[in-house]
Structure 1
């Protein structure tokens, strides 16, 4: 039997999020840096997102290019983030990145941790 594997899901970055990554890297004194995202154990729901400004991807990172920036995702975290849309919110409830993650079964009230 010949099975075809489905195409792997990717992570998308909204234009607002890409623009904010550029502004944030300049404000942090690291102009031209890109964002590395991942997950680690912690938070009130079991897993929390990690964000770091870096110049280059790690050897095993998945690199996603969109809207003039590169997003680096470590391979171990990718399974938990595949299909996610990284967005930016500048609303009254606070400014920051928002992970619209279809893999999250539950999220905490502040949106920084999740469970799968």
Structure 2
């Protein structure tokens, strides 16, 4: 399903385990928009009615059931770009 680079996994766990993040939050991976114009979405969230909760490499991941088939094979990385450090999402 969803995979993480080691650095992305480390950064996500550091954020989720931060004292500023309330208990019960997980990493949401999803899509925003639809059809040809959809973009990937990452954020911290609590589970909603249509969500599936997975544990991937020690990271609690929330995915809306309607997005599952579009997220198979997605890899999340953390990299430095010209505009700074941040997460990237690619589909294998």
Q: Place the TM-score, normalised by the shorter chain, in its bin.
A: 0.7 to 0.9
The alpha-carbon deviation at position 68 of structure 1 amounts to 2.1
The alpha-carbon deviation at position 70 of structure 1 amounts to 0.9
The alpha-carbon deviation at position 63 of structure 1 amounts to 2.7
Q: TM-score, normalised by structure 2?
A: 0.73
The alpha-carbon deviation at position 39 of structure 1 amounts to 0.4
Structure 1 position 12 matched with structure 2 position 7: no
The alpha-carbon deviation at position 82 of structure 1 amounts to 0.9
Report the structure number with the largest CA radius of gyration.
1
* Structure 1: distance between partners of 2:22 and 2:78: 19
Greater percentage in helix: 2
Show structure 1 runs of 5+ residues with no match.
Answer: 1-9, 103-116
SS for the counterpart of 1:52 is strand
Indicate the RMSD between aligned Cα atoms, in angstroms: 2.4
| Higher normalized contact order (CA 8 Å, seq sep 6+, divided by chain length) | 2
Aligned residues: 88
Show structure 2 runs of 5+ residues with no match.
Answer: none
SS for the counterpart of 2:12 is helix
Match of 2:74 in 1: 84
* Structure 1: distance between partners of 2:22 and 2:57: 16
Match of 1:73 in 2: 63
Greater percentage in strand: 2
